[in-house]
Amino acid sequence: MAPSIVLVSWMVLGLVMATSTIQVEAARAFFVFGDSLVDNGNNNFLATTARADSPPYGIDTPSRRASGRFSNGKNIPDFISDALGSEPTLPYLSPELKGDRLLVGANFASAGIGILNDTGVQFINIIRMYKQLKYFQQYQTRLADLVGFEEAQRIVNDALVLITVGGNDFVNNYYLVPFSPRSRQFSLPDYVRYLISEYRKLLMVNFVFTLCHIKITVL
C-alpha cells in the first residue's frame, strides 16, 4: 500500500466499529479527531461541564481511575492503538505529549462537539472541529522541530487518522429540548441531509487543506 494518510471516517449517525488490517499494518502514527467516543482526556484540561474525570468512568481499568475517557475502560482509539502495537495516543492538551511521545501521534478529540458549531454550546468550553484542526497544525510544527520537516511529513503522510463525529448533533442539538431551534428549522430527513452536507465540507475543505495526500475510507 503506497504511503498515504488513511482517513477512517466514522460518521456516528450510527456507530460502526471496524478496523482494516491492511490499513493498520500500513499506519505508523495515529491521529484522532472527534467527540466523547474518542476523547482520551482533552476535556480534563478545559473549564467545561463535559467531563469524565470521576467515577464511574475508568472503574474497569487496572488503575480504576478516571482518565477523561467516557468509558469504564478502554475506548475506540485504545483498541486501535492495541492493533497498531503502539502506546495509546495522548490528549493533545496533555503536558506529557512531548519528545518521543509525539512520534506516536496525538488525540485532538473533545467530548460534546459535533459537526455543527452550535452543537454542545451548553458545555461552555469544548474543542470544536476547526480548533482541533488548528491544534493539528501546531502538532506538525512541534513534530518538525523534533525530527525535521521531511521526517515529520513522512510520519504524517503514513499515519492512520480516525474521525468520529455526528452523534451530538442529534442528542445535544436537534433533540436537546422540545422544539429546539434546529428541529424547527429542519425536518429530521432534511437535518440528516444537512449534516451530511456540512460533514462533507469539513472533510473535503478543511481536511484536504490541513492534511496532505489524503486517502479517505468511509466505514
Report pLDDT digits (tens) over 63-86: 899 999 999 999 999 999 998 889
Domain ranges of the chain: 5-218
Measured from the Cβ of residue 181, the count of other Cβ atoms closer than 10 Å reads 12
Task: Choose between 23 and 141: higher pLDDT.
Answer: 141
Mean pLDDT within 110-126: 96
Q: Is the pLDDT score of 54 beyond 90?
A: yes
Mean pLDDT within 89-105: 97
Residue 204's pLDDT is 77
Angstrom CA distances, 126 to 38, 83, 110, 132, stand at 14, 29, 6, 10
Measured from the Cβ of residue 183, the count of other Cβ atoms closer than 10 Å reads 16
Residue 168's pLDDT is 97
- Across 94-128, b (16+ Cβ under 10 Å) vs e yields beebeeeebbbbbbbbbbbbbbbeebbeebeebbb
